[in-house]
């Protein structure tokens, strides 16, 4: 993802997700790698989310390999025909939770992109969580996530990491965060559409 200044940030690695309707495994891999790498930046503070994301990526990857699929719709169709699609270890359930994690990321990128020095990460993450994952978590998970929010890094520290430790790049980082969100929106919408079609997700 290029930017006007030619400054390389964390988001520069994301390539355009061109075939969101087709949903190739390569498109899934590109997007899920960004998702995992983003939460990896937070270190142990987001270990819970990162572990969940990586576990669900493995579920999808294992299903795709074992069923010899080239697209996500193909994986969903094959798992449904084999009555596997609602099992916790299935690629379908893994994809369901990945979609929810992507929704969290999209919300987080939005609130980050419009944030200022006066905003703290707890507030940014809390707003993103309330818009996304909170709808799907039980009471225990909600309480666990609230505890995570008390150990988040400073906003300036995260921005510096997203700037790849370059100085005076905050404006570019926030701009790129917004662009990344815009690029991910059609991908997430397509995932939602597929999961609803296979009766794995229900509109909130």
* CATH code (residue 105): 1.10.3520.10
Asked if the structure places residue 41 within a domain, the reply is yes
**Domain span at residue 127?**
20-197
Question: How many folded domains does the chain comprise?
Answer: 1
Report if residue 139 sits inside a domain: yes
**CB contact at 8 A, 44 and 35:** no
Q: Which residue ranges of the chain lie beneath pLDDT 70?
A: 1-5, 204
Give the pLDDT confidence score for residue 81 in this predicted structure. 97
Q: Is residue 7 part of a domain?
A: no
Q: How far apart are CA 101 and CA 125, in angstroms?
A: 13
Residue 97: inside a domain: yes
Residue 96 lies in a domain: yes
Note the pLDDT of residue 196.
97
Q: Which residue has the tokens 């290029």?
A: 2
Token look-up 């299903």 returns 63
Residue 13 has a pLDDT of 79
10 part of a folded domain: no
Q: What is the H or E stretch that residue 186 is in?
A: helix 170-197
For residue range 36-56, what is the model confidence (pLDDT) as tens digits? 999 999 888 788 888 999 999
Token digits for 120?
């703290």
Residue 203 lies in a domain: no
| pLDDT of amino acid 6 | 73
pTM value is 0.93
* Structural domain contains residue 1: no
Sequence-separated (6 or more) residues with CB below 8 Å from residue 72 = 23, 25, 28, 60, 95, 191, 194
């Amino acid at each position: 993802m290029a930017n006007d200044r030619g400054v390389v940030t964390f988001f520069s690695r994301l390539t355009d997700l061109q075939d969101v309707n087709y949903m190739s495994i390569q498109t899934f891999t590109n997007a899920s790698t960004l998702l995992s790498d983003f939460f990896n930046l937070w270190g142990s503070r987001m270990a819970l989310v990162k572990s969940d994301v990586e576990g669900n990526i493995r579920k999808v990857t294992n299903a795709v390999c074992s069923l010899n699929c080239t697209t996500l719709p193909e994986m969903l169709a094959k798992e449904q025909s084999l009555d596997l699609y609602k099992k916790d270890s299935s690629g379908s359930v893994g994809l369901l939770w990945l979609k929810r994690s992507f929704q969290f990321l999209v919300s987080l990128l939005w609130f980050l992109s419009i944030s200022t020095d006066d905003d703290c990460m707890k507030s940014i993450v809390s707003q993103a969580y309330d818009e996304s994952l909170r709808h799907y978590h039980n009471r225990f998970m909600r309480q666990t996530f609230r505890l995570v929010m008390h150990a988040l890094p400073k906003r300036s520290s995260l921005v510096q990491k997203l700037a790849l430790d370059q100085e005076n790049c905050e404006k570019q980082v926030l701009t790129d965060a917004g662009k990344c969100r815009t690029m991910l929106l059609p991908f997430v919408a397509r995932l939602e559409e597929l999961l609803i079609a296979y009766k794995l997700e229900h509109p909130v």
